[in-house]
Amino acid sequence: MSQLIADIALEFRKHKDMADRAMAGLSEEAFFRRPGEQVNPVALIVKHLAGNLASRWSDFLTTDGEKPTRDRDTEFVAGPADTRASLLAAWERGWSILFGTLATLKDSDLEKVIPIRGEAHRVQQALLRGLDHAAYHVGQILYLARWLNPSGEWLTVPPGKSRVVRGGYFKRV
């Protein structure tokens, strides 16, 4: 695995870890709570990202990233089968597919061209696109988790604690 692929995998893992920790602090009600009529709850962000990861990263080098079996529109609708357990199982499956694919990529793959929704992407470009997409939705989960559980664990540097948490950064040499 190239250093670039290893670095991208590490960043994906960091994002997944933060989202997992944020969701662990949410009650069942909060996980499914829709903050507004046109605002997705954490549950549907999880469902969407799980569907995206499974589609994009399955058979990554050999098929279009938008699989014909994927129904993206239903990822934004909660159905009777969408329990927290089932959504988190799909979430884990999607991430597992991603990490399994990343583990197989080699330097020689980075300049290959693959399709996503019929549009040509270099593998390196697709990796960055995927990381960007995951980071966007993880950010949504983190924001909603803070809003829904304001007393929950801080997953990054808490307000007013930069010099405590990252004190060495501020030392002048």
What is the per-residue pLDDT for 171? 61
Q: Whats the size of the chain, residue-wise? A: 173
What is the per-residue pLDDT for 62? 96
Stronger pLDDT, 36 or 171, i.e. the higher one: 36
Range of the domain at 63: 3-170
Per-residue pLDDT of 109-161, as tens digits, reads: 999 999 999 999 999 999 999 999 999 999 999 999 999 999 998 888 888 88
Rounded to a whole number, what is the distance in angstroms from the first to the last CA of the chain?
Answer: 36
With beta carbons less than 8 A apart as the criterion, state whether 52 and 133 touch.
Answer: yes
What is the per-residue pLDDT for 167? 60
Helix (H, G, I), strand (E, B) or coil at 69: coil
Percentage of residues in the chain with pLDDT exceeding 70?
95
Q: Label residue 79 by pLDDT band (50, 70, 90).
A: very high
Domains held by the chain: number: 1
pTM here? 0.92
CA 80 to mean position of chain CA atoms: 24
Rounded to whole angstroms, the Cα distance separating 6 from 91 reads 21
Per-residue pLDDT of 6-27, as tens digits, reads: 999 999 999 999 999 999 999 9
What is the per-residue pLDDT for 33? 97
CATH number at residue 99: 1.20.120.450
DSSP state of 151: T
